[in-house]
Structure 1
């Protein structure tokens, strides 16, 4: 069991909250690009309202605790650990509610090198609670636009968590996949479920395009997001995404293990 006090200390010590790796300049640039509706930053979300860079910054200050002063343009970003803890509590509530109904769930990540273990722990616990952990469109190809051009990847699952693999990657269950912000994988997965006539997810858990793409399509979606990814927080503000947890999404993978224990304990899913 991980107490709230212990987790708060861990968030700060591991750089998950407090002063984080993201550079202020990069985050402000991301807010400008999101306001311009650059698809690299909207992550599959189609915002209901118009968002100015100043409006995005104000939202991120409220949701994450980043400095609200637009004149501050250098240095590292900051995440308020209390906001992280508050969002994790709501995240756990949604998890527990779904588990109590034994609802079908879909999990996916665009950050497998860092976050796969976090989501896999949730998938294991949800499966043990009687939830169906969905794995649609296994092995199907998806064309994803990157800064290097269009790359054809394929959808794979590791311990019930979806990820994409780049061309030439060996299909070994223990290895991680490619980093992506694209909503196309979750759209493919959901389309495959619809065509098969099987159960649709009552909850989608993920990050980047997984949480934004699912939320945009009307699915209950919860996930993790960093200070340079405003889309999940905009989605939460507009109520297309249920929960966006602010934290650094690219620290060492083992640093997320206490978060898994904390969430599962609060959701009454500890094994």
Structure 2
């Protein structure tokens, strides 16, 4: 069984926590954009508080362990490994509660190249425990504004995990799905589920817009977030998002699998 000490060592060695690949410049730029209420950074959240740059930086220092000094403007950012472990423990508690009641759950990711396998293993375990893993609006078109203009994607599910694919056919061997922060995929999924009378999810698990938009609509939402994505942490501070695990969301896909095993062990869902 993977212990907390084992996982701590893995998080630091894989740079999922500690000194991470995300740069300080990236983080500070996101905090400025969030303070300006840029929808690209809000990713479905509608904050109630007056979140200026300093307030966002102070929150991220508290929730993630980044430097609270606004004069620190370059280099690689830092995530406190203890906060990552605490977030994974809290996530495990939510999954265990969902499994006990056989809840309907919805999983989705805006980082399928990195995180699909992480969520897919969770989906398999929750399904085996009696949860209904929802896949509403499969194949539905979703128009998302990107830096290249308006693009049409298709909502799809791989092993129970929602993601979007480009409308054009992918080359054989390519990993599935496109990177997106948009809240539109989960809104599309939830609208479709409501339109047919449910079931609606009792728990949404994911990242980016999947977590923020679901939480904003009143669904219990838990997930992962990097230090250059302040919206989930602001949502957690305002009681909209239940659990956020701070970690680098851009490392190799296989590096996240020990985290999955740890969460499932803590939730007593190991298969």
Residue 117 of structure 1 is matched in structure 2 by: 117
The offset of 1:26, in angstroms, is: 1.1
The offset of 1:176, in angstroms, is: 1.5
TM-score by length of structure 1 reads: 0.98
Residues 238-264 of structure 1: per-residue CA shift (max 9 Å, x gap)? 000000100000100000000000000
Residue 96 of structure 1 is matched in structure 2 by: 96
Residues 20-51 of structure 1: per-residue CA shift (max 9 Å, x gap)? 00110110010000011000100000001110
In the TM superposition, 1:143-162 aligns within 5 A as: 143-162=143-162
**Structure 2 CA distance for aligned equivalents of residues 184 and 106 of structure 1:** 15
TM-score by length of structure 2 reads: 0.98
- Does residue 59 of structure 2 align to residue 56 of structure 1? no
- SS of match in other structure, 1:107: strand
> Any gaps of 5 or more consecutive residues in structure 2?
none
Residue 129 of structure 2 is matched in structure 1 by: 129
In the TM superposition, 1:108-257 aligns within 5 A as: 108-170=108-170, 175-257=175-257
Q: Aligned in 2, Cα 1:109/1:171: closer, same or farther, shift over 3 Å?
A: farther
How many pairs align? Answer: 271
The offset of 1:175, in angstroms, is: 3.5
- SS of match in other structure, 1:162: strand
**Structure 1 CA distance for aligned equivalents of residues 247 and 130 of structure 2:** 29
Q: Aligned in 2, Cα 1:172/1:184: closer, same or farther, shift over 3 Å?
A: farther
**Structure 1 CA distance for aligned equivalents of residues 171 and 193 of structure 2:** 22
**Structure 2 CA distance for aligned equivalents of residues 58 and 247 of structure 1:** 17
Provide the alpha-carbon RMSD of the alignment: 1.2
Residue 12 of structure 2 is matched in structure 1 by: 12
> Any gaps of 5 or more consecutive residues in structure 1?
none
The offset of 1:170, in angstroms, is: 3.9
- SS of match in other structure, 2:133: coil
